[in-house]
Amino acid sequence: MNRISDALNAYAAFAKPLANGMEARDAPAPVPGSDFAAVLKDAAKVAIGTVKEAEAQSAAAIAGKADIREVVAAVTNAEMTLETVVTVRDKVINAYNEIMRMPI
């Protein structure tokens, strides 16, 4: 989550001079890793880590080494993360399709 907040802070820092009437060329350069692709890449890494954690908790429960509450929490967290990823993917695809339908 920290990378997402870093990206949002970089966006806010970039947008502030534009709101104050400065030209885009006068605005500070964006922070590396704060572009949309980097944010999506970081979010994907977090999602994969969440799913791996749920798998590890499930394996530990099968071996009798984990509390069932921890397993349920990890699996629920992974499920919510997967639903979020699917929703974001659908929104990105819809946005792309809308852009492709725009007249030039």
Residue written as tokens 């977090």? 46
Instruction: Provide mean pLDDT across the span 63-79.
Output: 91
15-55 pLDDT tens trace: 555 445 544 455 555 565 567 788 888 888 989 999 999 99
Per-chain mean pLDDT for the chain: 79
Same domain for 72 and 56, yes or no, is yes
Same domain for 41 and 28, yes or no, is no
- What is the domain extent for residue 1? 1-34
**What domain count does the chain have?**
2
Determine the straight-line distance between the first and last CA of the chain, rounded to whole angstroms: 37
Question: Which residues neighbour 14 within 8 Å (Cβ) at sequence distance 6 or greater?
Answer: 27, 28, 30
Same domain for 21 and 61, yes or no, is no
Question: Which residues neighbour 7 within 8 Å (Cβ) at sequence distance 6 or greater?
Answer: 33, 34, 35, 38, 39, 42
pLDDT of residue 36: 77
The CA dihedral of 65, 66, 68, 69, to the nearest 10 degrees, is: 160
Residue 62 has pLDDT above 80, yes or no: yes
44-55 pLDDT tens trace: 898 999 999 999
Structure-model confidence comparison of residues 64 and 9, the more confident one: 64
Q: How far is CA 86 from the centre of its chain?
A: 11
